[in-house]
Each structure stands twice: as C-alpha cells, then as structure tokens.
Chain A
Amino acid sequence: MELNSQAFERFAVNFEKGDLIFCEYEPGDSFYLIQQGRVQISKILGDIEKTIDILQPGEIFGEMAILEEAPRSANATALDPVRALEFNRENFEILLRGNPQIALKLLKLLTKRIYDQRRRFMILTLEDEQAKVADVFLMLNELQTEAEPQEDDEMTDERRFYTTPDDVAHWAGISPEKSREVLNHFASQRRVEIHDDHIVVKNINDFARFVRSRRKQ
C-alpha cells in the first residue's frame, strides 16, 4: 500500500524477527499498519500456541484498541524483521485523513468485526448448550462459504471443519469439558465425527433446523 510516508516517519516502529509486538491480555491502546515483514497472530491454549492468522504488509492489526483499552485478545509476533506504523486513538485520524485507502481497509475490517460479534452474540443467546455448539458450526460454515464459495460441496450436506472441541468451547462460551461432552453426544448420534485435527458435521442442514427450533422467536 502506498503511503504518503514521509509524514508518518515519526509513527514507525521496528521489530526484530521473533519479537512479541504485543501479548494476549496486555492492555492495548495502539494499532499497527504493517509496512514490511509478516506478523503472526496467535493464541496460547493450554500447552499449544495456535496460529490464527499470518498478516502481510499493508494489513492492519490490533485495531480493537481504537475502540477501547480492552486487553489484547491474541499475541502478535514478528515473523520477519517487521517495520510498522503505530497509531493510537488520538493520532489515527491524521493517518486516515491523508490515506483513504487505509481508511477504507479499516472500514471493511470494522464491518467484518461487527458481523463476527453479532454472530457470536446470536450463539451466546441460545439457551441450551447443544444448540450453542451446533450454531458454532453454522457460523464456521458461513465463514468457509464466504472464503471459498463452494461448488460441488453445496450439493452434499456434509461439512468438514478444521477446528477442535476447545475452539468450539471458546466460541460457544462454554467450558472445554462441556464442549467435549456435547460433541461426544452428537458423535454418538452419528451427527458429527471427531478427528484429531478436524470435525465433520454429517448434515449441516440438520444443524440449521435444530438451531432454528431452539431460537426464541
């Protein structure tokens, strides 16, 4: 992304390969625009570090900090020597005013976040845990369909998700134990198959009907 860069020199920060740019749970008040190098976004779950995303130059991260000084929700690590521009709520308007492309990017990011949060809220308002878990798969299905519009797959009702019971627990706002219990129950009914690195939902429409019936009108 082309920046009117001279003006932003004073916001530039550099990280060495392997540096933590920020750490999950740390209070955050700045967000970053990558100029050089890649940044890994990850979360530590128990004894593993799970990569959520790898970001390229031109991408923005830490943007939730514009909204509130909430704790960071993930780790950001420099995968290469990284050069980034660091902004906070006070000075990001300066950046955006001169750089509509970045503003537009941020606008899109916000629309996406609003959707994610609304969708998450819908899951959390379901009362029973089975419905919550089923709805997590519906949400993941929506995200997958968006990322790679499916052709043949649309014809069948089976869906494969690269996710784990712990991830499902996180989205559903329930404990990992409860998540495993519900998934095992679904597995005993042959509605899902649980594998090491993925979960298969045998009939996504069955889940859709199930969730619809549990949602209060």
Chain B
Amino acid sequence: MPKAMHYKANSVIYFKGDTPDRIFILKAGRVSLDSNDIETGQEIHDYIQTGEFFGVKSALGKYPREENAVVLSDTDVLIFSVAEFEQLVSQNTRIIMKMLKVFSNQLRRIHAKVSNLLSENEQANPEEGLFQNGQYFMKKKQYRQALYAFNKYLTYYPSGRFHEEANRLARTAEQYAQRFGQGKGPAPEGVGKTEVSKPQTGKSLSESARRYYEAVSMLGRQEYQNALEVFKEIVQSGEDQEYIVKSLFEIGRSLFYMKHYDAAIKHFTQFLQKYPKATELPDALYYIGQSYQENGNAERADSFYKKILSLPEIDEGLKRKVNKALRALEEA
C-alpha cells in the first residue's frame, strides 16, 4: 500500500546520489528538484506540481538520484514502491503515455547533445558504414546478410559512392548463395579492394563526374557553349544518375548565361517537373526568376522569388541574392 508522509519545510526527501527504491506523488505543499545542468553546471530548480510524480526515472531505471528533492514548505506526499507504482500505472495507460512523451523528449534532447559532441571525432558516415557491413558479410561468406546490406545500400544511396561496387557484390552474393550455399565458396573477388576508410577525392569518381567538374570549370571561365556541350553529353551517356541530374541543372545555367532566357525558363521548368525533389530546386527557381526579370516580366519574376522565400530551408547566400533581386524589382 502507498504510504502517506508529511515533510517539514527545509527537509530533504532524497539526496542526489541516493540509491532509489521509492516513487512519490506530491499531494500538497511545495517541492523543488535541485540539480546542475550537465552542460553548463548551472543550478536548475524544477518545481513539482501538485498531483505530479517525482523520482520516477531513477527508481525505474535503477540508478542513483540525479537531484536533491528539497521541501520548500510543509508538504504531504504519497510514497510508492516500484512494484506499487507499476501496478498503479498499469491500470492507467494515460499516465504512462504522458510519461513516455516526457521521457522520449528528454532522450531526444540528450541524444542530440551527444551526437553534437561526437560529430567532429568519430561519427561514422552511414553510407560508408552500410557498405562496409556488406563487405564484412561477404568476406565471412554470409551471403544472405551481405545481400541485405547491399540492397539497403542501393535503396538509400542509388547513386552513392559505392553503388557500382554494391551492385556487383549484390549480384555475386546472390550467385554464391545459390551455387555454393551460405558459408561456403571461394573468397569473393574484389571484396575489401575498395579502400573506404580514407576520404576519397577524385580517385573513384566516375567518368561522368570527372567530366562534370571539367565543364563546371569551363562555366567559371565563361566558356558557356563548350560547357553546355559537355553537360549535354553527360546526360546522353546515361551513366551516372547523380551527375546526370547535376548536369541537367547546369544546362539551364549555361542557357541563362548565354542569355537564352526563354530556353532557360523552359529547361528549368522541365527539370523541376522531372526532379521536384532535387537539391537544386531553390536555385532553379532563382534562375527562372532571373530569366523572367531579364525578359522584363517583373510580375512573374516577383512570384518566383517569393516562392523561394516560402521554402522551409534555403541557404543564406541564396536568400540574400533573392532579397536583393526583389529590391531591384521594386526600385525599377
């Protein structure tokens, strides 16, 4: 049976570091949970509301109290053992659901803080990690598992850095599983040959990627016609989906710089119809706006610029450019 208990002002119900076995409900009075912020060391006072549970987390998780529970004015509490608490909430899922929400919120916050601290040092790149796991299974002749990992890789990173390799290994895994069976067969060729632990710059770029970067530098040198030709060839080759999309975007830019504004508008519009989720979306809208502006269609330009500003996420640089263009429209 839960036990009623009275505490005088300035007494302490439990101390930080205590091993907990009790959970409390505040019936009347004032209780503050005093702790220090784990990030800043700043003192935190959490005031318990009447009817609210406290001491739940450490009691359920069986770890030391993380705060002092200090009585501010004469207080009445109900004390539950963990078993009594469990029985009580089992009959009232609403309480658990509420606590789950509070706890998952706390977990999300602390999880984010941890990830934040880790990001510089050691967080593995998931794309690389997934591929490496596939390689591990392949080496161990666990073909089913390897196939799973490579298929997931190809699902999430269809034009990722290792997609060709993953494709090839997935096929090999399938063949070996059929021909030799799980755990048997010769060492699969080429596993582990791809050096993935070091960052790769340029080395493993596909032919399309290499040419794409060449053409981008042509744009920089204002060799628009030449760049346009190369981008078109990359698209026609149909080789590397990622660079096809990138090149399609650059074709639009080339047309814009060559002052073929109508063609640029048409091109970008088709591009956005085909790849509505492209990362280049805000930029494409910007170039459409610019093209209309150059053509003297201020109204259309204005509506495209405003559309960009209504997007949930755009980068600061583009935002500045758009705002500048809008001001120029107003002044004109």
Contact = CB atoms under 8 A, between A and B. Distances in A.
B148 interface: yes
Contact of B121 (A23, A77, A146, A175): A175
Contacts of B66: 118
Given A25-B133, A47-B136, A100-B90, A173 B117 contact: yes
Interface stretch (B101-109, B267-275, B324-332): B101-109
A20 B142 CA distance: 11
Interface stretch (B1-9, B92-100, B298-306): B92-100
Interface stretch (A107-115, A187-195, A197-205): A107-115
B100 A103 contact: yes
Given A23-B152, A113-B107, A118-B110, A146 B62 contact: yes
B199 interface: no
A124 B97 CA distance: 31
B148 A107 contact: no
Contacts of B56: 111
Interface of A: 18-20, 23-27, 44, 47, 49, 64, 66-68, 70-71, 75, 77, 93, 96-98, 100-101, 103-104, 106-108, 110-115, 117-118, 120-122, 124-125, 142, 146, 169-170, 173-175, 216-217
5 contacts: A18-B182, A103-B97, A111-B56, A115-B63, A175-B122
Interface of B: 38-39, 41, 56-58, 60-63, 66, 86, 89-93, 96-97, 99-100, 103-104, 106-108, 110-111, 113-114, 117-118, 121-122, 124, 126-127, 129-130, 132-133, 136, 139-140, 142, 144-145, 148-149, 152, 156, 182
Given A23-B145, A67-B104, A112-B61, 11 more contacts: A18-B144, A24-B129, A24-B133, A71-B129, A97-B93, A100-B89, A104-B89, A108-B61, A110-B107, A125-B38, A173-B121
